Chain A
């Protein structure tokens, strides 16, 4: 228990707004791009996430109560407004939604015990063994992408021998803790460790999230935004979307990149590319 430690690091405990070039000299800032025109809504990514991150299958009754545990969910909308058209003439609108790893996360501020905070490599962390389950983080999340363990899932979700499938790199959560998409932090940690051993930085494409790896249309791109040569950094730059800006001023027309609920100043790390429809169809 160090009072001097607290005082010395007081400024870093305060929640700050992201600023321009914040990650310019950082080794890593993980980010993602999701191309909504490529996403077909097939749910391969969500199943891969279940497999990789030991997500419990909650069963019909819990699902009916809204207690599902899909860290990544595919939403399907029929229209942009408030009226349902007679026929969906231009198809459905699919949206893969997961924790946006906000740079100014509303959840990080309000956790009473500091179980969620921002890591130096730009992730929003969730520390299971610190969480006491007050659920304030979920209450404050505008995207509602945080999922709480309402039941003791280890007792019910993996009847023998299903528990043998569990990924040993990922904690199996007990009841009472909050969880959410971590950008497969276990993979990132392993890759960073290997890179550090080799004396280099993780190369683009060397590590990816389970969802990006599975996606048959490669709609999800994941990488290190601090590496200006990475795919994600290039796409963000090409789309003229700044991480630390809540209102993008784009010089060019016809750019598809946007972030969801940007006006709430959450500064998400996930960039979405607008879905395209041939208007002459």
Chain B
């Protein structure tokens, strides 16, 4: 201090500055100011709403997955610090998942792209926006004569006005080639659902079910809208307590919470479901639900046959069928392990048939409310779209490729020569917040604002209740001077191509604001346009109360073929089931340190990949934890450490997807291996989607050994301590506990 008795202005500002600046090390011996790392900021003239020491919360929408959860960000001294759930949002209900928390690390990632990159002499070199825009304009601006299939826009799942803008952009080229690629596509399941239930993505009303039978559906983990599903699940578990039965080859997070878990051979889910159907149809009450040919065909699905094919004990079938009859309404769900097969759609249809038999439609399954803006709903990604794009590029048809939110060089299967095909495209531009494997192959890479710095809107394809449009607004000023909003860049080009239509929009903000205010009548708002817009920003959501629609089920589309046992290829004796971690998904979040450090829920392993092997199989093969194994399919091989995992069908091995990056920043590079590369070229017979769970592998011991980096210690059992006590449902007085779950 200054030595006088009073605090003078310099000291006062210094104090303010300490509270306002970034990380201080006060209390432990050194301050960042004393060591010269931080500078003092004067707050004589602060920004609006910036009161030093007081946090302000702004609403926005999370962009980490397709759920569209409403969030709110805590902002202090103009910096976004942390996200919480937005209580106004129906989807998030004021809650948030780990992926959502990590969104701030997308924004503050030290490996974020901060300047445009241009390829010169074979290498990507930093350049200025002027030069970048000049190139972009030259290729895709007003003078460009590309049309139709010559231009393609490859994205991940995108919704809202960004999707509309991409549509507008491609329209200006007379093109419809918006390629939406999803490495974890649910297109097969959706096709089956549309056929059997009448809707591609019906409402799964978990909290109304008394019994959920899930064939590998990971609704609590990497499924659709996990935050919302988790809240429903909590209500499902309150008195009267629902029962969850999970049947899958590899235990998912949802399976870990099941009352009863069954391991079955991957791809045989449909057979099991038909076995259940057979058992149910022995009871007269269900006779009329299914057309006669199917009843006849089901006669071959007796429990012994089904047990032999699936590997599940024969007594399980009458038991589960009995449960289904006793607990109504029930809900039967299909999942990736059933759908990612050569007969995936058939599997899914067989599973969903159970819903028809049990009459769940209208009770636990309903159609989503009709949406006033269907064009804004996220388009489902697929593998087929990527194949088409690949062919278009390989044949030389594609002349210009824009990429945003998609990384096929990483997540496409190894047999697809996407990188080679991409080389044939004369002009490739990526719009990213951080360079990834695909962006690294482009000619021009443009740095984007993170979702915490830009405007946008989100319309999830799964609307759990009514209609909700999530508004995304910047939670702070741009962190870097040279990043731009996705919408602004595209609008720039659009203004050059169609000045008449778009000159009214100087930026994406104007575009979005106009679109939102134009929608005001739909939301029955009595506010003025500007107030409506302000209100939308303040609450973060636009909501419409709308009732679910009825489902028109159709059992007759279900194909019941003769039950056949899988033929085991002796060269590749193991089933290979890739697992999806809720916090890594298809690998796009592997650059976030909190998520790498967050132990995987089932194995507690961090910062790495692993090969799950059942302990009995490992004992036979004399494999210990940490032994490095080579997992080889007909399409490639990867090496990873073995992990003994009891939640596995013994003839199956599993590896997590999402690791194995090579050009995605310090937190992702060199961490683990990429099992996408060993998936075999097998496709669903009906939809042509990649059969992700149909690969077969052989396991080879390399003789090498490494320490497994995980959180669990020397034991994974409670060793007789009362740590997690379990009580039988009929002995717990759940009815006496009042619910404190947020409704």
Contacts and interface: CB of A to CB of B under 8 A. Distances in A.
Given A73-B711, A77-B717, A252-B733, A218 B728 contact: no
A51 interface: yes
Interface residues of A, number: 96
Contact of B717 (A83, A173, A277): A83
Contacts of A261: 721
B253 A42 contact: yes
B330 to A, nearest CB: 13
A40 B726 contact: no
A219 interface: yes
Contacts of A253: 731, 733
Interface stretch (A11-19, A21-29, A89-97): A89-97
Interface stretch (B333-341, B350-358, B501-509, B734-742): B734-742
A140 to B, nearest CB: 18
Nearest to A221: B740
A50 interface: yes
B24 interface: yes
B109 A82 contact: no
B527 interface: no
Contacts of A162: 105, 108-110, 593
Contacts of B598: 43, 46-47
A174 B257 CA distance: 39
Contacts of A210: 82
Interface stretch (B229-237, B438-446, B682-690): B229-237
Contact of B25 (A41, A76, A154, A231): A154
A247 interface: no
Nearest to B605: A63
A172 interface: yes
Contacts, number: 330
A275 B261 contact: no
A88 to B, nearest CB: 5
Given A75-B723, A277-B259, A44 B616 contact: no
Given A42-B582, A216-B230, A276-B734, A89 B260 contact: yes
Given A95-B724, A217-B233, A80 B594 contact: no
Contact of A258 (B234, B261, B722): B722
Interface size class of B (residues with CB under 8 A): 35 or more
Contacts of A214: 84-85, 95-97, 101
B634 interface: no
A275 B723 CA distance: 11
A64 to B, nearest CB: 4
A158 interface: yes
B594 A57 contact: yes
B76 interface: yes
A38 interface: yes
A84 B732 contact: no
B479 interface: yes
A63 B726 contact: no
Given A86-B616, A171-B26, A281 B601 contact: no
Most buried by B among A95, A128, A254: A254
A159 interface: yes
Interface string B74-106: 001101111111000000000111101110110
A231 B740 contact: yes
A278 B717 contact: no
Contact of A82 (B101, B582, B717): B717
A10 interface: no
Contacts of B717: 77-84
Given A51-B594, A86-B616, A218-B740, A254 B601 contact: no
10 contacts: A42-B601, A80-B720, A129-B27, A162-B105, A168-B77, A174-B28, A215-B95, A254-B736, A276-B728, A281-B260
The 9 closest A-B pairs by CB, nearest first: A254-B733, A216-B230, A281-B259, A281-B260, A93-B724, A217-B234, A60-B607, A92-B256, A47-B98
Given A63-B607, A164-B22, 18 more contacts: A38-B741, A50-B594, A51-B594, A57-B596, A80-B720, A91-B261, A93-B718, A159-B110, A172-B25, A174-B29, A216-B226, A217-B230, A218-B741, A256-B732, A260-B722, A278-B241, A278-B260, A278-B728
Interface of B: 19-20, 22-30, 53, 76-77, 79-85, 95-98, 100-102, 104-105, 108-110, 220-221, 226-227, 230-231, 233-234, 237, 241, 243-246, 251, 253-261, 263, 323, 479, 582-583, 593-599, 601-602, 604, 606-608, 615-616, 646-647, 671, 707, 709, 711-712, 716-734, 736-738, 740-742
